[in-house]
Amino acid sequence: MSPLTLLTPAVAVTAVTAIAVPTRSVASLRTFATTTPKKAKIMAILYKGGKAAEEEPRLLGTVENKLGLSDWLKQQGHEFIVTDDKEGPGSVFQKEIHDTDILITTPFHPGYLTADLFKKAKKLKLCVTAGVGSDHIDLNAANEHNVTVAEVTDSNTSSVAEHVVMSILLLIRNYTPAHEQIVGGEWDVAPVARLSFDLEDKVVGTIGAGRIGRKVLKRLQPFGCKELLYFDYAEMSKADSEALSVRRVEKIEDMVAQCDVVTINCPLHEQTLGLFNEELLSKMKKGAYLVNTARGAICVAEDVQKALESGQLSGYAGDVWNIQPAPKDHPWRSMRNPLGGGNGMVPHISGTSLDAQLRYASGTRDIIKRHLEGSLQEPANLIVENGEYATKAYGSRKN
């Protein structure tokens, strides 16, 4: 396998009203190249919340609650279109993109902005990801068309890290089959206990040791794991690795071969697409567990299904899918290990807790406000700008 460039994506937000911005020198901040008009057309692609969003206004990332931006934008005279209709040439997304100035998308219901759509989006100047992870945007095309792409760095790192640890525990303790027994009116301890283990004295490794990966490692420390490992092109400082009690492994194949549990915490880009294929999965410990809250396409769906059903993997859990929303016949919905368990899949929810939604909604507002004002921007939020990559988080990318 060729050397890989991996790093966990940046993730963060602030608050929908007053937003505290860390004091930095002007030299440490970047400006957006913008010719966005004073009265802009802004479009947001969000998921429908239905009755839940009507009853819970803190579900900000929904079509109904509009990231809390609607009144603010309309008071300034901007046009604000919010839709969940994103697939195909007849969708609101594709019909309205031609004269949109600012596009807001989300990893949880991604509007896929392809190279072809960039050609049609003649007025587009800024793409904001409400959350973290901008792989649904063709970043090379964004550079080609001089469109800035920004996301709300660190808005949901803690949310995702907590979900990772929860997923590890539900897999290794064989929780789901036990719960299904109770719901089904049954009580049979032995079939569940035969594949239930302690996390203590197990080897756990992370692919990617950026913000999320490090928070996962920190949260695993109290469990008394035998060893914590990481694979990342960027080596931690000695102080950080000692603080986290973690050891770096230089080759991904060597790391997965040592682990009882592997968690994926790196971005999706050319070098990580399909990374966990049949070949790499075969190098994992037989009966190991794999957790993926990064991006679904980092794993080959059919290869994961085969590994789980054969017993090469004892469990696979996560909330990210290679297609979102996932079709009803997606193999990850129904796959099981030979003993009938091992499936910990849920919808894309790990980074969209109510706390995270407040942070990424307010961060989205801050990015747009600065863009419209031509103000200085936080470098950590920028993915591409002025035709160049502003971060190494997405690997070795062409400019």
Q: Report the catalytic residues.
A: 156, 295, 324, 348
Question: What distance lies between CA 300 and its chain's CA centroid?
Answer: 17
Give the pairing of strands 313-318 and 79-83.
unpaired
Eight-class DSSP state of 150: E
**DSSP H helical segments within the chain, as ranges?**
50-55, 70-75, 92-96, 115-120, 139-144, 157-172, 175-183, 189-193, 211-220, 238-244, 252-258, 278-283, 301-310, 331-334, 354-373
Question: Number of C-alpha atoms within 13 angstroms, CB side, residue 81?
Answer: 21
d(CA 5, CA 146): 25
Amino acid at 59: L
- φ/ψ region of 174 (left if φ > 0, alpha if ψ in -120 to 50, else beta) reads left
d(CA 67, CA 350): 18
Judge contact between 204 and 230, C-beta under 8 A.
no
157-172 helix and 211-220 helix, angle to the nearest 10 degrees: 50
d(CA 204, CA 303): 22
Phi, psi (5° rounding) for residue 256? -65, -25
Binding residues: 132, 156-157, 211-212, 232, 267-271, 293, 319, 348-351
d(CA 6, CA 275): 11
* Residues with Cβ within 8 Å of residue 79, at least 6 apart in sequence: 39, 40, 41, 42
